[in-house]
Amino acid sequence: MSLPLAAGLFLTLTGLVALSFGLYALLRGGRGGQEGRGGIGPLSERGVHVVAGVRMTLIGLLSIGAGGYFLWAGL
């Protein structure tokens, strides 16, 4: 297996995992816990989930794009 093909497969799988985690964090949004508790400084627990969800969604999309590029280049 060539290096671009292996990198493409790895990045694509990593991107799918990151994308699913990011969407889960956005949809879950800190619900189910005790309100008014948790969080980091001025951000509530829901705000922390939104920030993490957006970040992981972007990382997932970028990884899928890079993985697709490497897969295309490896073929």
Give the model confidence (pLDDT) of 31-53 as tens digits. Answer: 655 555 555 566 677 888 889 99
Whole-number pLDDT of residue 28: 81
pTM: 0.81
Structure tokens at 60: 């997932």
The answer to whether 45 and 33 are in contact (CB under 8 A) is yes
pLDDT value, residue 42: 67
Of residues 23 and 32, more confidently modeled: 23
Non-local CB neighbours of 11 within 8 Å, separated by 6+ positions: 63, 64, 66, 67, 70
Token digits for 9? Answer: 């497969």
